[in-house]
Amino acid sequence: MTIKTMSFIVALTMTLPTLGAADADDDKLVINEEIAITTKTDAPAHLDGVFDEVMSGWHFRSDETQAMEMDDFDNPGMIFVEDAIETWNTAEGTEGKSCADCHGAPEDMAGVKPTYPKWNAAADQVFTLQMQVNDCRVNRMGAEAWKTDKGGSIPMEALLSSVSRGLPMNVAIDGPGRETWEKGKEIYYTRYGQLQLSCANCHEDNYGNMIRADHLSQGQVNGFPTYRLKNTKLNGAHSRFKGCIRDTRAETFSPGSPEFIALEMYVASRGNGLSVEGPSVRN
């Protein structure tokens, strides 16, 4: 088979939605038989004309993978949440405080994850949740900051996410954070790399279709951090952005970079209305 024929077939498969497509299913997600997760809902106002409905990546995975997320015991991502609970309760840094000393139990942090990333007035910039955690660690605990998507960052983000499961994502797109949000939107629609693909090319124009062996989702981040079967560990949103851009054969941005902070803010807002789902289970 020549390269020409192969590209033609790929192009054909991607343009004809019905050919080889497997649309998102209609299953309902209830975790531990008690947390109802909104996985499909009306698209937020700022996506008027783009989507009618936004959907969680859960719908695009196989039945077996979906089942793994429905029970906290079956969900291997929860192992890391348990580790984070220990970290939460352990004093660290020069001030001899633990997260619990100021914040109480992890459950008391419900309602925090749905609003991130958000504008931090004191720092005069948009903070991701990991940045806020580090702000506490450095300025209030006298401890060292964790690197983005490394070390304690991911389990802690997973813990803070887990206690907000079921609550709708609600990232503010107006106010002082607007400029950052606009920058994230610009990145979302920019084509990158040798393959000249933008996030939108796959996740807006082709969700539901197959890209080679993968079932394309809408690229929502309400389920992050996510336990990926492929590397059997939790993965953060910035790491996923990096992977996606690397896959377009581009020089990619780094986790924690201003570009990815802006992109995370924009992508998170595309899922406003969907429930916080992390730690989710994906392929």
Partner 1 sequence: MKFSRRDTLALGAGAVALTVLPLQANAATAVDDLIATFTGGADVGEGGVTLTAPEIAENGNTVPVGIDAPGATEVLIVAAGNPNPNVATFKFGELAGSQSASTRIRLAGTQDVMAIAKMGDGSFKKASQTVKVTIGGCGG
Partner 2 sequence: MAQGVKPRVKAPKTAAAGETVTLKTLISHKMESGQRKDKDGNVIPRSIINRFTCEFNGKSVIDVKMEPSISTNPYFEFEAVVPEAGEFKFTWYDDDGSVYEEAKSVKIG
Q: Which residues of the chain form contacts with partner 1 (CB under 8 A)?
A: 61-65, 67-68, 202, 210-214, 228-232, 243-244, 247, 283
DSSP-assigned letters across all residues of 35-93: EEE--EEEPPGGGTTT-SEEE-GGGGS-HHHHHHHSSTTT-THHHHHHHHHHHHTS-BT
74 contacts partner 2 (rule: CB under 8 A)? yes
Q: CB 12 → partner 1: shortest distance, Å? A: 17
Contact in structure between 267 and 213 (CB atoms under 8 Å): no
Catalytic residue among 99, 199, 202, 244: 244
205 contacts partner 2 (rule: CB under 8 A)? no
Q: Which does 89 bind (CB under 5 to 8 A by kind): partner 2, partner 1, none?
A: none
145 contacts partner 2 (rule: CB under 8 A)? no
Binding mask 215-254 for partner 2 (x = CB under 8 A): -----------------x----------------------
18 contacts partner 2 (rule: CB under 8 A)? no
Q: CB 74 → partner 2: shortest distance, Å? A: 7
244 a catalytic residue: yes
> In angstroms, rounded to a whole number, what is the distance separating the alpha carbons of residues 229 and 196?
28
82 contacts partner 2 (rule: CB under 8 A)? yes
Which residue among 35, 79, 145, 250 contacts partner 2 (CB under 8 A)?
79
Q: Which does 82 bind (CB under 5 to 8 A by kind): partner 2, partner 1, none?
A: partner 2
Q: Which does 4 bind (CB under 5 to 8 A by kind): partner 2, partner 1, none?
A: none
79: exposed, middle or buried (Cβ count in 10 Å: 0-12, 13-18, 19+): middle
Which residue among 17, 76, 176, 258 contacts partner 2 (CB under 8 A)?
76
Q: Which residue number, 11 or 105, has a Cβ lying nearer to partner 1?
A: 11
193 contacts partner 2 (rule: CB under 8 A)? no
35 contacts partner 2 (rule: CB under 8 A)? no
34 contacts partner 2 (rule: CB under 8 A)? no
87 contacts partner 2 (rule: CB under 8 A)? no
> In angstroms, rounded to a whole number, what is the distance separating the alpha carbons of residues 135 and 144?
10
Q: CB 22 → partner 2: shortest distance, Å? A: 24
- Interacting span for partner 2 (CB under 8 A) from 77-85, 218-226, 247-255, 270-278: 77-85
Q: Which residue from 43, 55, 54, 58 is spatially nearest to 278, judged by alpha carbons?
A: 58
Q: CB 275 → partner 2: shortest distance, Å? A: 24
Give catalytic residues, as residue numbers.
Answer: 244
Which residues here bind partner 2, judged by CB under 8 A? 73-74, 76, 79, 82-83, 232
